[in-house]
């Protein structure tokens, strides 16, 4: 079975410092991987996706993620945090060969940004 | 602007009552999905539909029902059989069932028990 583990339930950073949100996945095959962001009482917004092209994926708002097959990781980074980045972030895997696009969601990481 | 519209934003259910959550999309997407979100958990799939007049149960379909009579619309009914309906409900759509296609989400409906 496919699974996603977000290693931190909460991450706190100061504005202007780097952000690292960690994600490990388990998949028998090369999956598609996504990062989504959710602000309070809102839906999920796609930040970036990996679909077996370049291993370093650039997304919106200065975020990027690197796919490391040997480590089964897909960590999300940003060089400099902004107050508006405070939100919940979900790592998501889309396993292949399921007949339809069943997404497997991590439990989320809440990013707190202090002034 | 294209997107997904969920209504209402907040909904209250009395004991023994069925309630229906609306989801409309103007993205011309074939596939639509309903998820339930509880605090501290990831999203869980309730139902999905890959094409008009067809839908399948997800992981937690008990106590819920759906219909897909139009491509744009995928309403979710929370029946009285769902004993713990308090949650945030999210509707999503994708161009097709290809795993490479991202899902687009609405802004959710928060359902509470009176």
Residue B1 pLDDT exceeds 70:
no
Chain B residues with CB inside 8 Å of A49's CB?
Answer: 100, 102
Backbone phi, psi, residue B34, to 5°: -120, 135
pLDDT tens-place string over residues B14-65: 888 999 999 999 999 999 999 999 987 789 999 999 999 999 999 999 999 9
**Rounded Cα gap, residues B98 and B82, in angstroms:** 31
Which of B81, B6, B36 lies closest to B47 in space, CA to CA?
B36
pLDDT tens-place string over residues B2-16: 799 999 999 998 888
Residue A97 pLDDT exceeds 80:
no
pLDDT tens-place string over residues A56-75: 999 999 999 999 988 999 99
B42 and chain A: CB distance < 8 Å anywhere?
Answer: yes
Helix H or strand E encompassing A81: none
Q: Which percentage of chain B shows pLDDT scores above 70?
A: 96
Instruction: Work out the pLDDT band at B99, boundaries 50, 70, 90.
Output: low
CB pairs under 8 A between A and B: 70
Average pLDDT over residues A61-90: 95
Sign of the dihedral through C-alpha B69, B71, B77, B82: positive
The pLDDT of residue A95 = 73
Chain A residues with CB inside 8 Å of B87's CB?
Answer: none
């Amino acid at each position: 079975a496919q699974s996603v583990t977000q290693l931190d339930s909460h991450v706190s950073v100061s504005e202007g410092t780097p952000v690292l949100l960690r994600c490990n996945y388990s998949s028998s095959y090369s999956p598609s991987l996504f990062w989504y962001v959710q602000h309070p009482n809102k839906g999920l917004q796609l930040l970036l996706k990996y679909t077996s092209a370049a291993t370093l994926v650039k997304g919106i708002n200065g975020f990027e993620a690197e796919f490391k097959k040997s480590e089964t990781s897909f960590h999300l980074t940003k060089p400099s945090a902004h107050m508006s980045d405070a939100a919940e972030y979900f790592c998501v895997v889309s396993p292949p060969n399921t007949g339809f696009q069943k997404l497997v969601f991590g439990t989320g990481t809440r990013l707190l940004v202090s002034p | 602007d294209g997107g997904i519209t969920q209504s209402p934003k907040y909904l209250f259910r009395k004991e023994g009552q069925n309630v229906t959550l609306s989801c409309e999309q103007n993205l011309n997407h074939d596939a639509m999905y309903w998820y339930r979100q509880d605090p501290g958990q990831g999203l869980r799939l309730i139902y999905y539909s890959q094409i008009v007049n067809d839908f399948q149960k997800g992981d937690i379909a008990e106590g819920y029902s759906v219909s897909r009579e139009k491509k744009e619309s995928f309403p979710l009914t929370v029946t009285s059989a769902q004993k713990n309906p308090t949650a945030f409900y999210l509707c999503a759509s994708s161009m097709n069932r290809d795993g490479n296609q991202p899902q687009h989400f609405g802004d959710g409906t928060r359902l509470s028990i009176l």
